Structure 1
């Protein structure tokens, strides 16, 4: 980011990270607009992430000497990070934003478990309590005591997408920490490439309906999609990288909780969404668990590109 100083003040780094969190928190708005135009989630992800991913291939090839020794981890980052973003985009487009965000923010649970199982990290009791709180919060968001009743909001495949997105995001964080020899830029753009590849499979490029959909898309729709990919998503990812790279991980994690607050608040204020009192209580537990995990040194939660408490929003 040549337009920002290499050694910023804490105030500037905080401002940049809040800007990134705001972009991620508001990303549901253009996505809902795209589905209103009759576009599917995989197609949107293919055009927005895939177009950036095509250009990123050249950057990855140029960095190949640096990541060749850990090429297996680069492949894992591409697939896992790609799934995190693809499933997140589809969940936001098809589901209730509030519910999707709370389920996605269970990623601290998976970060703790992944770090414990695969990286042999020592987990303090407070972080285990956060895991328990997040699981209880999930139960409450999904219906609590009424879960399973015919009157309760049933668990849907969109819920499964939301949970899998959070799981994949946390897994991406764990893989990125293990891939210590892989350049940060490579970790970041792997996500765009993976999202484009998985979205291409999901759209079924050989299907008979896709050419008709693409030909029916007007120039303004194409322009909006490309602007969302190269403008909104790329800017959100790069500013995420910059912010978390120049702040303490615990501080960055707490700042990035603004994404959850912004997305939930705007979805209720402008999207006509709501949540039951029990759901609010569960969401509060999940948000608290995410805050405890951030303070405890875990991976930073989010939508949407990723890196842990240190580097990218979409690559770990």
Structure 2
């Protein structure tokens, strides 16, 4: 029997795990930057602007390739920018596990958004998954008194960034014929521009001006830039070689990395409600990605 090529076996899966690990622990360097006086908005602005410059340096044709898809790529940049800004801000200022779990409500958002935007009517099964995910959110947000609602900014950021990521996936499906470098450039540039615009708009309203750069802060910026670039390459490599449902299931390991790193580095242990609600949210996400589930093969990775 011929030996199975490594690239057709474990390598793509490991690449996706590496991407999940990078995003799962990205909260830590962002918090280090915050301790240096760099608000998550300014941190995101710098990191994504540098990442976009690196994409242009490696793929200079990416900008020219974008001209044929300008309106769609601009929209992708705005939505992806808001998604990344919300996620990075949320995991920096809030409970990491709660924010990541609320972010993974994105399969439920996909059911809601795909109907008006793609004409995909939800099936009975997808509605059941939606209800399961929403039940998980109610459990996570329940504080034992009153109607469970997001109780802090980080909760809202987690929910909204999950909705943004679902919309990003829908836009990527519409842009699947656009060159990959132009899509990557739009997403990184969008993160830099949106974060800068919000930082300027909110300066004096909870956001302080960006301090002078320090060598210590530069180290964490470099780590994040390198991590996100490597993560993007790993995601493109793995997602192109594995079934979409497999990609989506492996991406859920981000919750494991985020939870484990938060417990190890901060000592914060999530409460029972967080674990129970998170289990329901992840069950709904895994169900959506499971082979044979309606829409399982339509998942698009950025």
Question: How far apart are the structure 1 equivalents of 2:254 and 2:300?
Answer: 17
Tell me if the contact between 1:110 and 1:170 (Cα under 8 Å) persists in the aligned partners. yes
Matches within 5 A, 1:1-316: 8-56=7-55, 62-63=61-62, 66-143=65-142, 146-148=145-147, 155-204=151-200, 210=209, 213-214=211-212, 217-229=213-225, 231-295=226-290, 296=293, 298=295, 309-312=299-302
After TM superposition, give the deviation of residue 58 of structure 1 in Å.
6.9
Question: How far apart are the structure 1 equivalents of 2:116 and 2:201?
Answer: 38
SS at match of 2:209: helix
Moved more, 232-241 or 27-36: 27-36
Question: How far apart are the structure 2 equivalents of 1:125 and 1:185?
Answer: 37
Tell me if the contact between 1:50 and 1:193 (Cα under 8 Å) persists in the aligned partners. yes
Q: What is the count of residue pairs matched by the alignment?
A: 293
Tell me if the contact between 1:56 and 1:193 (Cα under 8 Å) persists in the aligned partners. no
Tell me if the contact between 2:13 and 2:238 (Cα under 8 Å) persists in the aligned partners. yes
Moved more, 42-51 or 52-61: 52-61
Task: Return the TM-score normalized by structure 1.
Answer: 0.83
Q: Any idea what the Cα deviations from partners look like across 1:129-159, whole Å, max 9, x if unmatched?
A: 11111111111110166344xxx88622221
Tell me if the contact between 2:169 and 2:300 (Cα under 8 Å) persists in the aligned partners. no
Gap change, CA 1:38 and 1:153, over 3 Å in 2: farther
After TM superposition, give the deviation of residue 175 of structure 1 in Å.
0.9
Gap change, CA 1:135 and 1:35, over 3 Å in 2: same
Aligned to 1:303: none
Question: How far apart are the structure 2 equivalents of 1:299 and 1:191?
Answer: 24
SS at match of 1:146: coil
Question: How far apart are the structure 2 equivalents of 1:45 and 1:156?
Answer: 21
Question: How far apart are the structure 1 equivalents of 2:245 and 2:6?
Answer: 19
After TM superposition, give the deviation of residue 66 of structure 1 in Å.
4.8
- RMSD, aligned CA: 2.7
Task: Return the TM-score normalized by structure 2.
Answer: 0.87
SS at match of 1:77: helix
Gap change, CA 1:291 and 1:86, over 3 Å in 2: same
Tell me if the contact between 2:142 and 2:273 (Cα under 8 Å) persists in the aligned partners. yes
Q: Any idea what the Cα deviations from partners look like across 1:54-96, whole Å, max 9, x if unmatched?
A: 3445778734665444321111100000110011111111000
Tell me if the contact between 1:92 and 1:100 (Cα under 8 Å) persists in the aligned partners. yes
Question: How far apart are the structure 2 equivalents of 1:21 and 1:292?
Answer: 19
Point out where structure 2 has 5 or more consecutive residues left out of the alignment.
Answer: none
Question: How far apart are the structure 1 equivalents of 2:68 and 2:45?
Answer: 29
Q: Any idea what the Cα deviations from partners look like across 1:177-197, whole Å, max 9, x if unmatched?
A: 112331122222211101110
